[in-house]
Structure 1
Amino acid sequence: MADLVPQLPLALRAPPEQRLSRYVGAPAGLLEALHALAAGDVPGGLFLQGVPATGKTHLLLGTCAEAELAGRHASYLALRGLRGRVRAAVEGLDQSDLLALDDLDAVAGERDDEIALFDLHNRLCDAGRTPLYAAADGPDALGLVLPDLRSRLAQCARWALPVLDDDGRAELLRQRAAARGLEFDEAALDWLLRRASRDLGTLTALFERLDRASLAAQRRLTVPFLRQVLEIDLP
């Protein structure tokens, strides 16, 4: 099961966009809390909840990268696809100073998995190490069958992530374009946001296409260029 655990340092493996400083629309105090968590100053851990495409994975990877840059050992593990195999997947991860577990809802209701997570949580906290969790819902709404695990998760500091509004989506795309040295006309940005899905996963996938096309054609991101590249997908 060793292939389930990231082998490269997360500070190097995580995409540059997935840093805490690049997260858009954070609730007041959240980024400060994650910086403190990365430094090991949040006993008991932290729990992020939010619907898909609210940036949970971004924040988990960003916090792990911050921890590693501070000289701490961090590990990230997505639980989606690991139902029934959690105990083997987390073996050895209790040695991480910071352990980020994503997609907790993917294994909720599987008793053996929940027992493995309960045992892991206790080992981490007993050793003064830090767990960081993310799921679509809070501990009370996940459908957990192990009351002890639900109780442990409920003791974590909890933050709810908002869905980005149009201003937030625009700022996200501006940041990504600027980080890659792209010129994104405001008219083109407005054109894209009025036509693209509000889902951030879809929106960022469209941006990646535009980035590759812009690089290949040596063109700025203007309305005519967006029409040319996305004519099949968007009206």
Structure 2
Amino acid sequence: MRENAPPKQLAFDLPLDPRFGREDFLVGPANEAAYGLIESWPDWPDTVLVLTGPPGSGKSHLASIWATRAHAWTVSAAEIAGSDVTHLISNGALVIEDIDRAGNRDEAALFHLLNLARERRCPVLLTSAQGVDALGLATPDLRSRLRLAPGAAILPPDDALLRAVIVKLFVDRQLVVDLSVVEALALRIDRSLARAREVVAELDRDALGRGRRITRPLALAVLQRLGLTEPDDEEAPDDAARN
């Protein structure tokens, strides 16, 4: 038995409460059009706007910023049913998240809600991971209404934004890492904020389980385990155990 071996710590997968304040949103070329649209409220070009972007790109963050400014309620598309439409817009502003999830969508109720919102001048912000034409909508009038709605798309992040988001993800978890860790991740993962979130969460769990800080060798080892780097990539994974 190795008496000097550090005890293995239990890594509890506790929910992380992300910070969705205006000051926490990082703006770059990939999302500046969407951010500008949110900031332009109440001078919107239409009552209904559609915000699209891949998972984890910041749609919910922007929706939260607008909801705070407009005192809007936030619901998922799954919560919209015919009997609740009038109640949902009674607050005067509404965010509808994830209209791309077809299994949770009442198209007739959603179309009725958008018509009523336009009639009562109630601003509605919808978020979707896909463009309108990719939603597979079975209701032609709803498809037409959403096609005509102005909006903005969040694009994949550039290198600078990806690095900034990785730093923020560590800060949100109260983790202090060297710049070399950020560089190792940014150079190897695909340009996806969802992927960045996944890798940082895995690093947090791994470091907590080992009872060690997050280092570049550990980051490379985790990336290799996730299939995001090659076994001979600069530093061997075994080096992680010595840091």
TM-score by length of 2: 0.68
Percent identity of equivalent pairs: 30
The reply to whether residue 133 of structure 1 matches residue 126 of structure 2 is yes
For residues 34 and 227 of structure 1, do their structure 2 counterparts lie closer, same or farther at Cα, with a shift above 3 Å needed? same
Looking at CA atoms only, which structure, 1 or 2, has the larger radius of gyration? Answer: 2
Larger mean Cα displacement after TM superposition, 221-230 or 93-102 = 221-230
| Counterpart in the other structure of 2:35 | 31
Q: Which whole-Å CA distance do the structure 2 matches of 1:151 and 1:230 have between them?
A: 43
| Counterpart in the other structure of 1:93 | 88
Q: Which whole-Å CA distance do the structure 2 matches of 1:106 and 1:59 have between them?
A: 19
Deviations 1:172-212 (A, max 9, x none): 11233345654331211112234445443232133235456
The amino acid that maps onto 1:160 is A
| Counterpart in the other structure of 1:184 | 177
Deviations 1:127-181 (A, max 9, x none): 2211001223333442222222223223322212101233321111123334565
The amino acid that maps onto 1:78 is S
Q: Which whole-Å CA distance do the structure 1 matches of 2:104 and 2:117 have between them?
A: 22
Q: Which whole-Å CA distance do the structure 2 matches of 1:35 and 1:44 have between them?
A: 15
Q: Which whole-Å CA distance do the structure 1 matches of 2:22 and 2:60 have between them?
A: 11
Deviations 1:5-64 (A, max 9, x none): xxxxxxxxx955333441443444432321233xx4324221112233332222222322
| Counterpart in the other structure of 1:154 | 147
Deviations 1:42-88 (A, max 9, x none): 24221112233332222222322333xxxx2x122223xx39x7435
Structure 1 residue ranges (4+ consecutive) displaced by more than 6 angstroms after TM superposition:
212-219, 228-231
Conserved 8 A contact 1:108-1:142:
no
Q: Which whole-Å CA distance do the structure 2 matches of 1:109 and 1:224 have between them?
A: 43
| Counterpart in the other structure of 2:10 | none
Conserved 8 A contact 1:103-1:134:
yes
Q: Which whole-Å CA distance do the structure 2 matches of 1:159 and 1:53 have between them?
A: 16
- Give the aligned length: 210
